[in-house]
Every structure is written in C-alpha cells, then in structure tokens.
Amino acid sequence: MTPNPNPTTPGDPTPGGVSQERKVVLVTGASAGIGRAAADRLATRGWTVCGASRRGTNGSGWSALVMDVDSDESVAAGVDSVLGAHGRLDAVVACAGWGLAGPVEDTPLTDAKAQLETNFWGAVRLTQAALPAMRARGGGRIVLVSSIGGAVGIPFQAFYSASKFAMEGFGEALAYQVAPFDIDVVLVEPGNVHTDFTANRRDVPVSADDPYAAATKKAVSKMEADEAAGVDPQSAADTIVRALEARRPPRRLSVGHPGERVGLLAKRLLPYRVFEWGAKGSLGV
C-alpha cells in the first residue's frame, strides 16, 4: 500500500469523500502486537494516530496515550483528551486484549471475568465513549479486532473465545443501530499472528494428575506452534487499514493463513459434526 495523505472514512465533509484535514483515529492496545503495527501503519498513511495503552508506549509518527480499557473513567478521560487535542475523532480501533489458556473446570472465575473485562468490555467502553462525538460530526468508523476464535471455538481457550464470540454479536447488533448516523462497524478476524501475544498468555495451573493435563498440554503446544508460524502483524495492520479506508467496508474481514480463513466458510456450510471432525486435528484435540 502506498501512503495516502487524505485517508477516507465516513462523514467526509468534502465532495468525493476526501477531507482536507487529517483524520483522527484512536487505537487501543497500541503498545505491542497488532495494535502497534496498526498504529504505525496508519501514521504512514496520513492519519493522526493516538495510540492508547496502559503503559503509554510511544510509537513511530504517532502520539501515546495512557488508557486502561478496564476502567470506565480511564477510557472516558482518554477519549476526551483526544477530542480536546484534535477537535474530532473519526475512527476507533479496539485492539486491546490478552489470552487465557486452561480447562474451564480449573479456571478461577476471577481470571475468566478479567478476560472478558479487557477483551470485550474494553471494546464496549471505547465504543460508548466515542459514539457521541461521531454522531455529532455526522459519521465515523468503529473497527473491532475480534478473532477467528470468535467464530470457531478454541479448546482450552474457552473464555478467550467467549470474549470474541461476544464481540461478534455486539458488533453485528451495533452496526444496525449506528448505520443511520453514517457510522460503520467492521469486525476484523485475525487467525494466528506472530506477536508477543503468545508469551503474554496467562496459563491456568494444571497439576500432573489433573484429568485435563495431557489434553491441555497437547492443545496449548499446538496453539503456540501455530502462533509462532502465524502471519506477520503487518498483514493484520493492512487489513485494519482496509477496514478504515474502504468506502463501503464489509461487516467482517479475516486475516491469516488460507487454511485458517477457510475454516470460517466451512463452519457456515458444513454440518456441525462434519466440521468438528475435520477441525479437531487443527485445534490440537
């Protein structure tokens, strides 16, 4: 992709959809991984990028913002600071998230709730905080970074999958509600991406005599190997750029190796027993 000094999003005030002002986008989870890659890529394409994270990590060509998506107050203050600094907010990209692996039976509910607090409710907080400014401006775009794991359940990552399944339903329902205000919602569904997400995953302790021990080890090992061989985060960043700059974006965009992406289609078309039989090997069960 070549740099675009006038990125196009809904609500452009000039004919032809090209604004003379730099569009402003707020990206959460911008300290690493897909969020960092997306913030860097958008900055090269002429967006004014505010990259939010708990650490407030600086990026290349964009400004850092300290924001904790687990906190109502932090998200509201972060969005207000972007509006105060730039006077507009054209788009948000909800990238903040982490992984939790282990058997459902052994997972403390505090950990399960924390998983959804960041991955799902963090995106909800960002959306709620951004919508009033988008409606007032006459348009905007919301990109929710979901996962192929939001359409195909991942064994021993049940609560991660639950957070992404929830995001899928939330984004789809939200799209109907905000369409009259020229606000688009796009769900980006990455498969395996080679980032530090793997190293930062939280593992539920499983004892050697646990009935799930062997299956957990096999499935998590397969998952880690697949992530290590995953696509570069720049591929995901390019997909996010497409979601933001397409004049009429699709509701969902997937990114990853072809074998992973075809699984989305297979689940829709095949009888569920046939799909699950074929998926077991690829999921490590």
Whether 31 sits among the annotated catalytic residues: the reply is: yes
Whether 163 sits among the annotated catalytic residues: the reply is: no
Q: Note the pLDDT tens digit of each residue in 265-278.
A: 777 777 878 878 77
What is the spatial distance between Cα 206 and Cα 212, in angstroms, rounded to a whole number?
8
- Residue 74: what pLDDT? 98
Whether 254 sits among the annotated catalytic residues: the reply is: no
Whether 146 sits among the annotated catalytic residues: the reply is: yes
Catalytic residue among 23, 53, 74, 146: 146
Q: Note the pLDDT tens digit of each residue in 43-91.
A: 999 999 999 999 888 888 999 999 999 999 999 999 999 999 999 999 9
pTM of the predicted protein model: 0.88
Catalytic residue among 23, 53, 164, 254: 164
- Residue 51: what pLDDT? 97
Domains in the chain, ordered, with CATH?
98-283 (3.40.50.720)
Catalytic residue among 23, 74, 147, 160: 160
Low-confidence ranges of the chain (pLDDT < 70): 1-20
Which three-class secondary structure string do you get for 178-223? HHHHCEEEEEEEECCECCCHHHHCEECCCCCCCCCHHHHHHHHHHH
